[in-house]
Amino acid sequence: MSIPVAGRIRAGIRVLTRKAEAVPLAKKIYDEGVERELSFDTIEEQIIRAVPDLERPLVPKNVPFFTARACDFPHPETAKAILDLYGEDRGDGVRRLYRFPVIFPADAWQRVMPHELVTWTSSERKFWSEYSADGATRYCKMHEAVPVDAGSRRVIRLWGGRKHVARPENGGVCDPESCKEYQSRQCNLNGKFIFFIPGVRSLSAFDLPTNSFYAMRAAIEKFQTIAFMRGGRIGGYLDGQGTTFFISKRLTEVSRIDEFGHPTRVSQWLIELEAPVDVSSLLRPGDEPEAIEMRAQEAVVVLEGPQVSMPVRTAPEASGADACEGNPVEKKSAEPMQRMPSAEPPSKGQPKGPALSPQTAKAAPPASSSRSAAQQPPAAARTGAGTAPDGDAAAASELEWVLESAKALGVPADRFETYAAKRWGAGWKLNPGGRRQALKDISAFADDANGFRRKIAAEVDVFK
């Protein structure tokens, strides 16, 4: 699923050409449009209608600031809120957006910085690129021809729009150097950053379009570096102090090849992704709030001893006073209060572990077709009739459930235990909160077995 976007911040502006600047009427329309915060497309249309001799009166200009214009947001006040929070006046009397904090809504950089090589017709995409699942190969895609009914010769109505197929040329692989559209400048790089801005209220994200290869390549390198140090994560705050990424601009000399094949260097304001964080804090996973909570619970167990029994509650039958005061209600045929937040315990006859997508099921090691009695979920992990389970049996059941979930994603039990002990402390298995946090950690990668194994490898094999 794509991340919904509700507004756009732009990296540049458009200005009048030299020819258009010499026309007073065109200059007047441009100045009035900028003052009213009209889009540059609208300003250009008004100039062309007023001065038909000017076919293209506006050209892009690279500037050191970003623009947040009311016309680029469904709620115009959002643009004002962004400028009020993070706008700066750097001596010219105009408040502009030079640098602002961002929070990315996903951990995969391909989701928060989607990009493609794309060829457009007057109304739609003709060809475009897509990466393979592992991000190593880029394919060229196109729309499949609309099928026609053989009898009536009518176009068949399609469910969900036209299908996407690989382009026949080059075996479907995107190779810009042998692509006639790319060489004739019909196919160009198109990308964007997708993010939230702290302090700006919006259910949907914002985006920042860019077609700079250098800016995107530098951002990918920083995404991968931060993800490597944070166990595969780039989303959310970077640390417990609320540190975020920042987006700004930096004047950089970039090289390019001119029409005659000669290398030249030009200065450009490129989008720069910053991460002003203490790197050493990212390399200390034991200092995270979850790990501190686990160690606190471990201390409670040491001082007070483990719980002998686990109180249970049946929510529909609990009295109003008990429910309000938080007192557990002992009942038979009830479920344990300690429940995993990210997945339900398996019912009888169902496999243990997180629900896997078909893609993850292929990536995970195949399970045995027949299970022994010892491999079946114990009674403490199932719902149904019976008395409340013993505390030790429930803890053993939850631990087995966690280890089976990790095994379903291709991580052996002993390797996951090594990872969990390093991340949350040696007593994570004894604490209900520790087991709950472990299952939550696993469930976050239920559809990404490869990512889960990479995360475990980073923590166990790299950060020793």
pLDDT per position as a tens digit, 354-405: 444 444 444 444 444 333 333 344 444 443 333 344 567 888 888 888 899 8
pLDDT the model gives residue 191: 92
pLDDT the model gives residue 374: 37
pLDDT the model gives residue 223: 92
pLDDT the model gives residue 128: 93
pLDDT the model gives residue 393: 81
pLDDT the model gives residue 335: 43
- Against a cut of 0.75, is the pTM above it? no
176 strand-pairing partners? none
| Cα 313–chain centre separation | 37
Contact 425, 288 (CB under 8 A): no
CA distance 458 to 394: 31
CA distance 43 to 383: 66
Assigned token pair, 325: 């005061």
Beta carbons within 10 angstroms of residue 286's beta carbon:
13
3-state class (DSSP) for residue 217: helix
Tokens 């957006």 belong to 97
pLDDT the model gives residue 401: 86
pLDDT the model gives residue 250: 93
pLDDT the model gives residue 359: 43
- Show the low-confidence residues of the chain (pLDDT under 50): 286, 308-389
In tens, the pLDDT along 185-200 reads 899 999 999 999 999 9
387: Cβ contacts below 8 Å, ≥ 6 apart: 332
Beta carbons within 10 angstroms of residue 300's beta carbon:
12
CA distance 169 to 167: 6
